[in-house]
Amino acid sequence: MIAAIVLGLTLLGVPNDQPTRPPADTQRVVFVCEHGTVKSVVAAALFNKLARERGLAAVAVSRGTAPDSVLPAVVRDGLLADGAGPWRARPTRLTSADVPGASLFVSFDQPIDALVGERAPLRHWDGTPSVMQNYAAGRDAILERVRALVAELARAQGRGATKPR
């Protein structure tokens, strides 16, 4: 029964602790913040929710340059209230192993240019308001950028539809 629930969450695009391989044509977006538990998690969870709703072949993961061990309650509770949770992936350090297969990196105030190099596109979403100080304000700023990114990928994939495939 538990395996069926985990499989169901995986198929719905809800990240969990079990490593999964998306289909070969799926774009992989890597969001990076310092602790890998706040801005990058909010961005990845919202991205996965919106991408799933649009039927995009895209999945996002969260990474940290100095990851914490646990997701803060404000993030966990906020994502649940937003319908973008639960977030089950463990905080993970960004390494060079994340570069192959990534379609795009999005950095929140982290100097990852040398690690990513020219091997994948990199965007800097620096100066985003703090999620910890004000979840709604931080989330809204991230959501605005995530919506634009999902729309851009939808155009590139020819998927203007808003329903899952």
Report pLDDT for 24. Answer: 59
pLDDT digits (tens, 9 = 90+) for 60-106: 999 999 999 999 999 999 999 999 989 999 999 999 999 999 999 99
pLDDT (tens digit per residue) in 130-160 = 999 999 999 999 999 999 999 999 998 886 5
Banded pLDDT at 110 (limits 50, 70, 90): very high
pLDDT on residue 157: 84
Task: Write the DSSP string, the chain.
Answer: -HHHHHHHHHHTT---SS-----TT-EEEEEEESSSSSHHHHHHHHHHHHHHHHT-SEEEEEEESS--SS--HHHHHHHHHTT-----PPP-B--GGGSTT-SEEEESS---HHHHTTSS-EEE-TTPPPTTT-HHHHHHHHHHHHHHHHHHHHHHHT----S--
* pTM higher than 0.75: yes
pLDDT at 18 over 50: no
Q: Is the pLDDT of residue 14 over 70?
A: no
Region 21-43: what's the mean pLDDT? Answer: 88
Give the pLDDT score at 160.
59
- Give per-residue pLDDT as tens, 36-50: 999 999 999 999 999
pLDDT for 25? 75
Domains of the chain: 25-157 (3.40.50.2300)
Instruction: State the pLDDT at residue 70.
Output: 93
